[in-house]
Amino acid sequence: MENYKITTLNDFIILKQKDFTYAKGELSSLLHHIGTAAKMVNKKINKAGLVDIIGSAGEVNVHGENQQKLDVYADEVFIGSLLASGECCGVATEENENEISFSDTFASKGKYIVCIDPLDGSSNIDFNVSVGTIFSIYRRITQRGEKVRNEDFLQNGSKQVAAGYIIYGSSTMLVYSTGNGVNGFTLDPSIGEFCLSHPDIRTPENGSIYSVNEGNYVHFPEGIKKYIKYCQEIDKDSGRPYTSRYIGSLVSDFHRNLLKGGIFLYPENKTAPQGKLRLVYECNPIAFIASQAGGMASDGKRSLLEITPSSLHQRSPFYVGSKGMVKKVEEFLDFYNR
Ligand code: P6P
């Protein structure tokens, strides 16, 4: 008898809700709505090559970056689904300059705010490279029923109630944590459900993969240049030389390293003095997942989760993955940038 014991995302959310004595189902409902939005975006991405939805929307986003049509679609779908949940009172997304306050009577009383990059890596879509959604959930600071304010979205990463990502790749996966470990769910299109496929993900203390855009090498800090050469040296005891793997899509590069062990680096460089990746809705949620799986994330000097953001779209140097490897990068930066 084939094993039909399937645990869907919704089964799991309800099951795990029992871990939180004070839980009244609000977070569960919010996570369920994120799963629904992910299925809708997945459907469009799968057909992107066939219908007129790839390519530029002809607009640029708040950062002056060319907005892909699927960016716009994903942004609208996730915002709509978060509003519909009734548990989220406002969102900050990569595609909108300012936070969005939900004025709907029901939603304005929501307990949570969400920071989200609706479609990270979207410039890769036209070339059939995996892309992702990255999300972060906090309790609001403002009073329920009030309009949200900037301060609701500028909490440090250690205050995250939950975080996760969806990777639209060879299969579509949702990986999330509510602070009790990390679990991965793979979408079974035949039943339209995310099914538990990677329970209790733990990332190895050390790995043999390093992921960085070496095209920026000349612009890197001295400590990063030396670390990259360290990865390329022969040292059988530590398994070097490491393997270089870089897709150019954060969720894909991080997800591979999370499962196999490895480090992802996006350093500050002369052309991007604060790095490229956004602290609030890219680095922090990924850092939360990494730390929950036994890894760590740093800006090169300190734990990324301890940084209090000063603006919604601020960038940060980003080093994330296996704890031993991130600590080694911090050592190199400290020694060579002394
Ligand atoms: P670069 C995609 O545009 C993205 O925001 C991340 O997904 C990815 O890790 C990074 O930028 C790639 O940047 O400069 O190496 O092309």
- Residue 17's pLDDT is what? 81
Among 116, 277, 281, name the best residue to mutate to test ligand 1's pocket (greatest count of ligand atoms within 8 A of Cβ). Answer: 277
Beta bridge partners of 132: 120, 167
Say yes or no: CB of residue 286 within 6 Å of ligand 1. no
Say yes or no: CB of residue 120 within 6 Å of ligand 1. yes
- Residue 209's pLDDT is what? 98
Say how many Å lie between the CA of residue 8 and the centre of ligand 1. 31
Go through the chain and tell me how many residues it has: 338
Say how many Å lie between the CA of residue 277 and the centre of ligand 1. 8
Say yes or no: CB of residue 123 within 6 Å of ligand 1. yes
Closest C-alpha to 209, from 263, 137, 141, 284? 263
- Please give the Cα distance from 64 to 286 (Å, whole number): 24
**Residue-wise pLDDT tens digits, 74-115:** 999 999 999 999 999 999 999 999 999 999 888 999 999 999
Task: Indicate the pTM of the whole model.
Answer: 0.94
Q: Which amino acid is at 220?
A: F
Say yes or no: CB of residue 121 within 6 Å of ligand 1. yes
- Residue 52's pLDDT is what? 67
* The CATH fold of domain 9-198: Fructose-1,6-Bisphosphatase; Chain A, domain 1 (3.30.540)
Say yes or no: CB of residue 66 within 6 Å of ligand 1. no
Contact 135, 264 (CB under 8 A): no
Residue of the CA atom closest to atom 1 of ligand 1:
248
Say how many Å lie between the CA of residue 332 and the centre of ligand 1. 23
Among 245, 276, 286, name the best residue to mutate to test ligand 1's pocket (greatest count of ligand atoms within 8 A of Cβ). Answer: 276
Q: Which amino acid is at 74?
A: A
Residue of the CA atom closest to atom 2 of ligand 1:
121
Beta bridge partners of 303: 298
Say how many Å lie between the CA of residue 7 and the centre of ligand 1. 33
Say how many Å lie between the CA of residue 120 and the centre of ligand 1. 8
**Helix ranges (DSSP H) in the chain:** 9-17, 26-47, 69-85, 150-153, 222-232, 250-260, 284-292, 323-336
Strands 243-244, 209-211: parallel, antiparallel or unpaired by DSSP?
parallel
- Residue 3's pLDDT is what? 59
- Segments making up each domain of the chain, as ranges: 9-198, 209-336
Say yes or no: CB of residue 275 within 6 Å of ligand 1. no
Say yes or no: CB of residue 124 within 6 Å of ligand 1. no
Ligand 1 atom at minimum distance from 264 CA: 9
Residue of the CA atom closest to atom 14 of ligand 1:
213
| Beta-carbon-side half-sphere exposure of residue 153 (alpha carbons within 13 Å) | 27
* The CATH fold of domain 209-336: D-Maltodextrin-Binding Protein; domain 2 (3.40.190)
- Which portions of the chain are predicted below pLDDT 70? 1-4, 20-23, 48-54, 338
Q: Which amino acid is at 23?
A: A
Residue of the CA atom closest to atom 9 of ligand 1:
250
Say how many Å lie between the CA of residue 179 and the centre of ligand 1. 27
- Please give the Cα distance from 155 to 161 (Å, whole number): 11
